A and B are shown apart, each in its own frame.
Chain A
Amino acid sequence: MLDTQAIALSLTLAFWTLVLLIPFGIWVAHRLADAGPLKSWAEAALALPLVLPPTVLGYYFIVVFAGKSLFGEPLVFSFTGLLIASLIVNLPFAIQPIQRAFEAIPPEIKEAAKVSGLNTWQRFRLIELPLAWRGILSGAAMTFAHTLGEFGVVLMVGGAIPGETKTASIAIYDKVQTFDTAGAGSLSLILLIISLIAIAVSYGVFGKPQTGSQRA
């Protein structure tokens, strides 16, 4: 039988991760796109979730979250804790594509916006953001797909409480453990399709990127 509760929980987690992480990711990526003295260190720190084993991350989350609560909810073995862990684990997936998109905007385009009389916010809103939209879309798709598929950190921080922390990837693991191959298969297929669509979006299946002044 299809575990719709687990799918709904995964989608809810992915949705909130997106909603909270993408605006923050845009801000951080925009700052990082302009070279600063600590840029390399900041980039390295943000990329850590890519190279650290999920168990290491999970361990530190448990150490930090233990005994703490937010809005009256404990952080360990709760959806809130899972969401915070998801936000941190997904930082590189959200920020890196957006940062690359901001970096790809030719400097003279930004300067032209400046000498056209636009202030900092107007330059960001009217010029840089529209030119970086593909990177933002890519960051969002990667974040969404990665949240759906995250297993190790979710298991360590959240456990497998149905309706609270048992996401689709945990449910698949449980079903395999209990020899429910049909249930595991249908859940896997759904995750596969959703992830494929998300990754296709990030690879630009739905249109060509457009930055810089091109000649006719």
Chain B
Amino acid sequence: MLKLYIQQTVPNPLAIKLEVDDGEIHALVGPSGSGKTSVLRSIAGLHHPEIGHIECANRVWLNRDSARGPRVAQDASLRSCGFLFQQYALFPHLSALENVRIALHNNGESRAEQIQCARDWLAQLNIAELANRLPRQISGGQQQRVALARALARSPKILLLDEPFSAIDIPTRQTLYQTLAELRKRLHIPIILVTHDLREAHLLADRITVIDQGVGLQTANANDLFAKPRNARVAQLVGIPNLFQGVFNAGRLQWGSSPWAFQITDKGKIPPQSQVAWVIPQAGLSVHSTSQDGRIPCRVKHISALGQIAVIEFVIEAIAETLTWEASAAEVRRLGLEQAALVHLEFNCDLIHIMPLRPINDPRRFMSAADAAP
């Protein structure tokens, strides 16, 4: 299990707390420069944050927190991390086999045993036939498998994957997804995946931590993250459509300056008269051709037909807000949806999720411990 918190103000602000279980794939997502890779490098010992504590498999790798005992900063070469670099970072002068064997250089075994072990890893990743090739003689996907074999050869206590799928084509990516899923079953170590691709994180990870400007904003499983983003910035970063602002007061959500309000049940965490952000999922919206009390009139702004699915943009002219809604081609026909058509939207208040408009640029603020709990 990995337990980590790190904090720094230079060169980039960072304030992250993380706990990753054995066998868990945990994705770190966020925009470029958000600090995802710095977290990974801190775990590997390639970066030393000002303050922090990193513990993996019950061993302290870093302690720069006087409250938690003497200072510890274990060298990267001793941390037992499997690190898959974004551009693989294979040693260009060594064959695939030697690239893997070199990770076993200090394991105390004879050279013959190390070579056999390296061959086994190449075979497990289905690239045994490439053993004698140099990195420049094999494809990007094959290079990545060699790099993965090298990362795993030392029997690491944690596997760190830095944007591992960003530089390879989509068919190769699919087979590597499978490889990762199989490895995860066998290895039973924490696996941390850095990606800016939310779809990929959703597909592969058990839990996701959203990072922005060096701050961990929310840790949750993918479904919770999309249904209940912690604040407006998380909703924005994970690309949730239909994100709006309003004022929440005693169970009543007033939509901006509009005449419409919704009755919302919340947990009493939001103070009265608060400016809030809110989202409505696809399932919480229904579209009707007829007017009725509680329905909001709008016009079809744009229809994008994508095979059997259409994405429709509605504009509520009274408040100049736009909503998107996905529907089947049959549904579009049934409702007679076409450009500029007048329709009526009905919101299911039970599915509206409200959240604070919290500032996100305070590097001193950690996520709450509850966020990081498994």
Contacts and interface: CB of A to CB of B under 8 A. Distances in A.
Contact of A118 (B44, B77, B89, B139): B77
Contacts of B90: 112, 213
Nearest to A210: B92
Interface in A171-216: 210-216
B79 A112 contact: no
Nearest to B154: A117
Q: How large is the interface on A (under 10, 10 to 19, 20 to 34, 35 or more residues)?
A: 20 to 34
A213 B135 CA distance: 7
Contact of B83 (A109, A112, A119, A127): A112
Nearest to B47: A111
Contacts of B85: 108, 111-112
A216 B142 CA distance: 10
Contacts of A162: none
B2 to A, nearest CB: 15
Nearest to B156: A115
A127 B90 CA distance: 11
B124 interface: no
B103 to A, nearest CB: 4
Contacts of B45: 114-115
Given A119-B106, A214-B136, A216-B138, A114 B89 contact: no
A135 to B, nearest CB: 13
Nearest to B104: A117
A214 B88 CA distance: 10
Contacts of B76: 111, 114-115
Contacts of A119: 77, 106
A69 interface: no
Q: Which of B46, B80, B92 counts the most A-chain CB atoms under 10 A from its CB? A: B92
Contacts of B44: 111, 115
A213 B89 contact: yes
A216 B134 CA distance: 10
Contacts, number: 92
Contacts of B79: 115
Given A117-B77, A122-B105, A112 B136 contact: no
A131 interface: yes
A14 B82 CA distance: 47
B93 A116 contact: no
A104 B89 CA distance: 14
Nearest to A133: B93
B23 interface: no
Interface in B45-84: 45-46, 75-83
B143 A113 contact: no
A119 B105 CA distance: 10
A124 B151 CA distance: 20
A130 B99 CA distance: 14
Contacts of B46: 111, 114-115
B91 interface: yes
Nearest to B98: A126
B83 A115 contact: yes
Q: Which of A118, A122, A213 counts the most B-chain CB atoms under 10 A from its CB? A: A213
A127 B103 CA distance: 12
A25 to B, nearest CB: 21
B102 A215 contact: no
Interface in A131-179: 131
Contacts of B221: none
A112 B137 contact: no
A34 to B, nearest CB: 14
Given A117-B103, A117-B154, A216-B136, A108 B87 contact: yes
21 contacts: A108-B87, A111-B44, A111-B76, A111-B85, A111-B89, A112-B85, A113-B91, A115-B44, A115-B77, A116-B102, A116-B105, A117-B80, A117-B103, A122-B105, A122-B106, A131-B91, A211-B92, A213-B88, A213-B90, A215-B143, A216-B137
